[in-house]
Each structure stands twice: as structure tokens, then as C-alpha cells.
């Protein structure tokens, strides 16, 4: 079985000859950029550079998938949000919300996928598909209506509105869903085998009741409307909403180490695949070969389907720790039957 097949089976919770290793979010570090000779911000803005850096996720680190959308800003920038694209040691950040008040009276531009912040990752996905697509899984990334609401209206304005004017929030999210679907379909067309669906409805900012009330149906609808497996990524302690995520039909949940691994496995049940759960700070950034090996063993023992970091890897982590994680995973289950 090729790495691509292992990854695509694992994210559907199907049996694999070894645990898959991969990530729904960025695995780029500053020292990986130096190693490859391609850096931020160029790798966000130039398709060839983006594809080269993303490919290193497999060619240097050994992961079973590659994922070229390193930041959270592409579709929001295409909508008109002003973005500071950062540098070799800083991830991009939004400068200010696009709109001051929450209201659904805004149009989604028809040419959204053609605008440079979307066109660049779409071209990078095509390049990755051509170059590595037979061997490794090519994963795209889209953001759900909760994250897009933060970007377009500002976190504070959006969250206050969930309390004061839930009907307006629903209208706005319904409109923003079209952005998620349009960019997702364009990524599938460009060659993505699966899509990360990031939605920052983390516990600090979204109660389990709010998840059920505002997002459960929309995430289930995204699963229906996007014809490829989805990897839902939500940061933080999500134990209180994993039972709802099970109901969405989404194939795989990329979970944070704030949920203890055995708890995540129990809550997810046998059908929802689990990815990640390895602490970025304790294991990926500060781990030793021994502590990384122990973490990999614990994840495999708990039945995690795809071993890897919990969220976007901190830029100041050493890439060799990611390679160690992959090597430990292979040691635990030899790859001799792989091409």
C-alpha cells in the first residue's frame, strides 16, 4: 500500500497495514524553510514555492500527506480582508475585520477562486497532484462559517451577535457557507484527495450548546456538499462536542492534546477516524527522541488512525522532531509492504 492509500484508508477509519502519519494543518517550521530554501511569506503567495515547501512534508519529513495551505487566511483575503502575510518566523494575521457590523447584506464574488489568494493554493495543489499525487495524499484546506465570521466581522462582534442576534448570525453563516463550498470544490477539481475543514469553534469561544445550535447542521451539510473526505479541525478541548461531530457524518476529526487521547477515542466511537492529538509544545517543540517515541506508542495503542501533531506546528519547533515522529511510527509498524 502506498502512503496515499494508507492515509486515505486511515481517515475513513478503515484498517491499514500500519498507522498513517500526517496532518490536516501546517507542518512547516522555520528550520524546514531554511532546509528547503523557500520561506514565508513567499510560500503563501507564489504557487511554485508553496508547492515546493508543502512537498517537503513528504520528501523531508516523511508524512503520508502534503497540505499547501499553511495559513488560515486564503479565502478571507480573497473576500477582501487585509492580511499581513508574516515572515519566516511569523504566521499571517488579519489586520482588521472587513466589516464593522454583522449583517448578511454582502455578496460573495463569483470570481473568488480566480482571485490571487485562492488561485495560488489552487495552482499549488495542481502541481502537488502532478508531482506526488500517485504516491502521497494531497490535502486541501477550507474554513467553515464560524472562522469566516471571525475574519469578516471580527471575533468580538461575531460572538456578541451569537448572543444578541442569533438569527442574523445564522443568515451570515449561511452566506459564508458558499465561500467554503466554492473554494472546497475548486480544490477538489485541482486535485485534492481530501479537505481539512477548519472551524475555530473552540470551547472558550463556542459552548457545546452553541455548537449544536449553530454548527452541527452546517458541518453535516458541508459533508454532503463536498464530494471528498473531510478532516474537521477544531483547536482546544473539544470533548464536549465530539459526540455532536460524530453526528455530522464527517470522516475524520483532527483533535488537540487538550482532549486526553483515550477520551477522544471513546467519544469518537469506531466510525469517526481520529488524527493528531500529539502536543505541539511538549512533544513536537520540546520533545526528546524518547518522549516522542513514547507519545507515538501511546497514540498507536489508543487506536489513533493518523499519528501527527495536534494543530499547525509552531514555527520554532525543530523539523527533526517531526521526522523522528514519522520514523518512530514506521518502527512501530514496518513499512516493508509499501512501494
Closer by beta carbon to Zn ion, 185 or else 280: 280
Is 83 among the residues that bind Zn ion (CB under 5 A)? no
Can you read off the three cell numbers belonging to residue 48?
Answer: 511554485
Q: What is the footprint of Zn ion within residues 303-332 (CB under 5 A)? A: 311
SS3 336: coil
Nearest distance from C-beta of residue 310 to Zn ion, angstroms: 7
The one segment of 50-58, 99-107, 228-236, 282-290 that binds Zn ion by CB under 5 A: 228-236
Helix, strand counts (H, E) of the chain: 15, 10
DSSP state of 114: G
Rounded to the nearest whole angstrom, what is the least distance from the CB of residue 201 to Zn ion in the complex? Answer: 11
Q: Which is nearer to Zn ion, 36 or 272 (CB)?
A: 272
Choose between 195 and 235: whose C-beta lies nearer to Zn ion: 235
Instruction: Report the DSSP beta bridge partners of residue 231.
Output: 196, 252
Closest CA to 136 of 192, 211, 85: 192
Q: What are phi and psi of 121, to 5 degrees?
A: -65, -30
How big is the site for Zn ion, counted in residues (CB under 5 A)? 2
Q: Which residue's CB is nearer to Zn ion, number 16 or number 25?
A: 25
The 8-class DSSP code of residue 89 comes to T
**Greatest alpha-carbon span in the chain:** 58
Q: Interface with Zn ion includes 235 (CB under 5 A)?
A: yes
Q: Is 231 in the site for Zn ion (CB under 5 A)?
A: no
Residue number, 127 or 311, with CB nearest to Zn ion: 311
- Count other Cβ atoms within 10 Å, centred on residue 53: 28
Pick 17 or 86: Cβ nearer Zn ion:
86
Q: Please name the residue that has the C-alpha cell 513499512.
A: 335
For residue 210 the three cell numbers come to: 452553541
- CB of residue 276 to Zn ion, shortest distance in Å: 9
Length of the chain: 339
Site membership for Zn ion, residue 201 (CB under 5 A) = no
In the complex, least distance from residue 233 CB atom to Zn ion, rounded to whole angstroms:
6
> Using the rule CB under 5 A, is 179 a contact of Zn ion?
no
Cα–Cα–Cα angle for 49, 50, 53, rounded to 5 degrees: 85
Contact footprint for Zn ion (CB under 5 A): 235, 311
Amino acid at each position: 500500500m502506498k502512503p496515499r492509500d494508507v492515509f486515505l484508508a486511515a481517515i475513513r477509519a478503515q484498517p491499514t497495514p500500519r498507522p498513517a502519519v500526517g496532518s490536516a494543518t501546517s507542518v512547516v517550521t522555520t528550520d524546514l524553510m531554511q532546509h528547503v530554501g523557500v520561506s514565508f511569506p513567499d510560500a503563501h503567495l507564489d504557487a511554485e514555492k508553496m508547492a515546493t515547501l508543502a512537498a517537503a512534508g513528504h520528501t523531508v519529513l516523511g508524512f503520508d500527506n502534503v497540505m499547501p495551505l499553511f495559513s488560515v487566511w486564503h479565502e478571507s483575503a480573497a473576500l477582501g480582508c487585509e492580511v499581513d502575510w508574516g515572515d519566516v518566523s511569523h504566521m499571517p494575521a488579519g489586520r482588521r475585520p472587513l466589516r464593522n457590523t454583522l449583517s448578511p447584506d454582502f455578496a460573495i464574488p463569483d470570481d473568488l477562486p480566480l482571485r490571487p489568494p485562492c488561485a495560488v493554493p489552487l495552482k499549488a495543489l495542481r502541481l502537488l497532484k502532478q508531482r506526488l499525487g500517485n504516491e502521497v495524499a494531497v490535502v486541501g484546506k477550507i474554513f467553515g462559517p464560524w472562522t469566516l465570521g471571525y475574519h469578516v466581522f471580527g471575533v468580538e462582534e461575531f460572538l456578541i451577535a451569537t448572543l444578541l442576534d442569533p438569527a442574523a448570525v445564522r443568515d451570515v453563516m449561511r452566506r459564508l457557507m458558499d465561500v467554503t463550498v466554492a473554494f472546497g470544490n475548486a480544490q477538489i477539481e485541482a486535485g485534492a484527495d481530501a479537505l481539512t475543514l477548519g472551524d475555530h469553534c473552540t470551547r472558550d469561544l463556542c459552548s457545546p450548546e452553541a455548537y449544536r445550535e449553530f454548527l452541527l447542521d452546517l458541518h453535516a451539510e458541508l459533508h454532503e456538499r463536498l464530494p471528498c473526505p473531510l478532516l474537521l479541525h477544531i483547536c482546544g478541548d473539544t470533548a464536549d462536542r465530539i459526540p455532536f461531530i460524530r453526528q455530522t457524518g464527517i470522516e475524520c476529526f483532527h483533535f488537540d492534546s487538550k482532549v486526553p487521547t483515550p477520551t477522544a477515542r471513546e467519544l469518537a466511537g469506531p466510525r469517526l477516524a481520529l488524527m493528531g492529538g500529539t502536543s505541539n509544545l511538549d512533544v513536537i517543540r520540546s520533545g526528546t527522541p524518547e518522549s516522542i517515541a513514547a507519545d507515538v506508542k501511546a497514540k498507536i495503542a489508543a487506536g489513533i488512525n493518523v499519528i501527527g501533531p495536534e494543530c499547525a506546528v509552531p514555527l520554532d519547533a525543530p523539523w527533526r522532531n517531526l521526522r523522528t515522529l514519522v520514523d518512530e511510527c514506521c518502527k512501530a509498524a514496518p513499512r516493508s509492504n509499501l512501494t
